[in-house]
Chain A
Amino acid sequence: MESFDSLVSYAWFILGGAAATLELTVLSCTLGLIVSLIAGLSLLSKKLLVRWAARTYIELFRGTSLFVQLFAAYFVLPLAGIPLSPIQAGVLAIGLNGGAYGAEVVRAAIQAVGNDQREATIALNLTRWQAMRWIIFPQAVPLMLPTFGNLAIETMKATAIASLISVSELTFQAQMVRTQTGGTALPFITILITYLAIASMMMALVRWLERRLSRGLVSVRT
């Protein structure tokens, strides 16, 4: 049995991975969000080519595993002259993967805003862009938020896969401790609690956003 002191220091070592997990999560979610919006709006474009491009991206990323995408980003892109750091490759793969799912959420939420709202914008002579920017999109956001919250947590959990390309995030650190000490309980209980803590923080943030962004819509819902 190891001393309490060394247990604590191993735990700290693992927690050191939380920084990389958070970095991967924040960057992947940001990339995923931007890509979701672009691809989601593209799915609703009037131009066939734009819709087709978005559809291809989505099917490509949903139809292959994140594992394959990560390895492609880390090992194949350098062959094409685009060398990426492990973090960059992780963010690219995880972000684009999340974006493919997010795009459908954006599309569905925008379509869920009633046609009567669209007709009112036409009667008020707004351009298509103004209608989207000021009327349709703001009403779609509260509809997207719950699903986006779930996607963000999925993204956070998916960052563990970056341990495979040696990003020293939580899972990677836990594996290190496990191979060094042979102990399994400590490393896995530590990361379990840490992932859970990050997830609850994210959930709280999403709920706060939901309250903020559904002004005027809340009294209808309750």
Chain B
Amino acid sequence: MTSSSSYSGLEEASSKPHLCGAAKRGSAAVPHHSNPDRPETPIIEFREVGKSYGTFTILDKLSFSVRPGEHLALIGPSGSGKTTILRLLMTLETVTAGEILIDGRSLNREERSGKIVQASEAHLRRMRAEIGMVFQHFNLFPHKTVLENVTLAPVLTSRLSKEEAKNRAFELLDKVGLTNKADEYPARLSGGQKQRVAIARALALQPKILLLDEITSALDPELVEEVLSVITDLRNETNMTMLLVTHEMSFAKDFADRVLFFEQGKIIEDGPPAKIFQEPDHERTRSFLRKVIAAGQRV
């Protein structure tokens, strides 16, 4: 599974100039820290974001930002709002208060004839171009072959010709070790293989931000490793910004530069994994970790 060569398609993507010309990218595999001349624009910024369903509030005035190339793990008890945060970023849910900025541009609002209004579908589509997501249940297209799953979006969004999309798909399938399954339908794959196809599919659009929501929790234990090793490769070989929601503490520790611990829609703890897992500031974090350890996980 592990491979030393780079994800060529992705390097290419990240060396393209940003649409708004804000952030500068460093070389691959080195996390980007701020440029001394000009403070770097966060690739993601939540500004007092609120999300509620009717009277039920999930997020209230949530603020945090993410630097380009950062690898973030979002942990916390069930129902704390981790999935909601990723779904807001993917525009699968709409923000009910505040603002999310992607690379300095508003995700949920836009200016039209001098007024700030709710983002239109066209604006959302422009913003989504920067973001990819891998789902817990893969969400592959069952009526399309593995290859078609990966080539469909680049071709339909006219990023690539059919030929180019196919070449890139094979490169990505090679990375996830599934070129031999290119012509199979998803129903014929194991869970781990499905999730690796889903990763290749998300990467085919060369997102700058990749969202991963409990991508191994629907898998049989023996299939988890093959998916995590793909993620580890991606982490080491690209400079995508990655947000990982997970209940696997040991993987969060290896993966993340920075861990956010959530409870009831609030960030309780924010810091490098060594700190969060070894000497958290809050009792709530400690009790969460104790529960996780009691449930049999290594932290």
Q: Decide whether A and B are members of one complex.
A: yes
**Those of A39-89 within 8 Å (CB) of chain B:** none
Binds B, one of A20-28, A96-104, A131-139, A154-162: A131-139
* Minimal beta-carbon separation of A219 from chain B (angstroms): 4
Q: Which of A125, A126, A134, A215 has the most CB of B within 10 A?
A: A125
Determine if A124 and B152 form an interchain contact, defined as CB atoms under 8 angstroms apart: yes
What number of A-B contacts does a CB cutoff of 8 Å give? 68
Determine if A220 and B187 form an interchain contact, defined as CB atoms under 8 angstroms apart: yes
**Those of A117-150 within 8 Å (CB) of chain B:** 117, 119-120, 122-128, 130, 134-135, 138-139
Binds A, one of B39-47, B142-150, B162-170: B142-150
From B121, B132, B152, A123 is in contact (CB under 8 Å) with: B132
From B92, B121, B186, B188, A128 is in contact (CB under 8 Å) with: B121
**Those of A167-222 within 8 Å (CB) of chain B:** 215-217, 219-220
| Given known contacts A122-B92, A123-B202, A125-B125, A217 and B156 CB-to-CB distance under 8 angstroms | no
Convert B219-236 into 0s and 1s, putting 1 for each residue whose CB lies closer than 8 angstroms to a CB of A.
000000000000000000
Determine if A120 and B187 form an interchain contact, defined as CB atoms under 8 angstroms apart: no
Determine if B139 and A116 form an interchain contact, defined as CB atoms under 8 angstroms apart: yes
Determine if B139 and A122 form an interchain contact, defined as CB atoms under 8 angstroms apart: no
Is B137 among interface residues, defined by CB-CB distance under 8 A? yes
Determine if B187 and A130 form an interchain contact, defined as CB atoms under 8 angstroms apart: no
* Minimal beta-carbon separation of A220 from chain B (angstroms): 5
* Minimal beta-carbon separation of B218 from chain A (angstroms): 11
Is B135 among interface residues, defined by CB-CB distance under 8 A? yes
Q: Which of B90, B121, B125, B153 has the most CB of A within 10 A?
A: B153
Residues of A within 8 A of B129 (CB): 125
* Minimal beta-carbon separation of B252 from chain A (angstroms): 22
| Given known contacts A122-B128, A128-B121, A139 and B90 CB-to-CB distance under 8 angstroms | no
From B92, B157, B187, A217 is in contact (CB under 8 Å) with: B187
Q: How far is the CA of A217 from the CA of B185 in the complex (A)?
A: 8
| Given known contacts A122-B92, A215-B185, A220-B187, A134 and B133 CB-to-CB distance under 8 angstroms | no
* Minimal beta-carbon separation of A164 from chain B (angstroms): 44
| Given known contacts A123-B202, A124-B201, A219 and B187 CB-to-CB distance under 8 angstroms | yes
> Is the interface on chain B under 10, 10 to 19, 20 to 34, or 35 or more residues?
20 to 34
Determine if A123 and B144 form an interchain contact, defined as CB atoms under 8 angstroms apart: no
Is B205 among interface residues, defined by CB-CB distance under 8 A? yes
Is B251 among interface residues, defined by CB-CB distance under 8 A? no
Determine if A220 and B142 form an interchain contact, defined as CB atoms under 8 angstroms apart: yes
Q: How far is the CA of A120 from the CA of B134 in the complex (A)?
A: 9
Residue of A nearest to B202 (CB): A123
Residue of A nearest to B132 (CB): A123
Q: Which of A123, A124, A126, A219 has the most CB of B within 10 A?
A: A123
From A120, A125, A220, B205 is in contact (CB under 8 Å) with: A125
Determine if A217 and B142 form an interchain contact, defined as CB atoms under 8 angstroms apart: yes
Residues of B within 8 A of A139 (CB): 141-143
**Those of B82-129 within 8 Å (CB) of chain A:** 90-92, 121, 125, 128-129
Q: How far is the CA of A183 from the CA of B153 in the complex (A)?
A: 66
Determine if B121 and A117 form an interchain contact, defined as CB atoms under 8 angstroms apart: no
Determine if A216 and B202 form an interchain contact, defined as CB atoms under 8 angstroms apart: no
Determine if B143 and A138 form an interchain contact, defined as CB atoms under 8 angstroms apart: yes
4 closest Cβ contacts across the A-B interface?
A216-B185, A124-B153, A120-B139, A123-B133
* Inter-chain pairs besides A119-B90, A119-B92, 13 sampled, C-beta below 8 Å: A120-B139, A122-B128, A123-B128, A123-B139, A124-B201, A125-B205, A126-B153, A126-B156, A126-B157, A127-B125, A130-B156, A216-B143, A217-B142
Can you identify 14 A-B contacts, CB atoms within 8 angstroms? A116-B135, A116-B139, A120-B140, A123-B92, A123-B135, A124-B157, A125-B129, A127-B125, A215-B185, A216-B144, A216-B185, A216-B186, A217-B187, A219-B187
Chain A: residues with CB nearer than 8 A to chain B?
116-117, 119-120, 122-128, 130, 134-135, 138-139, 215-217, 219-220
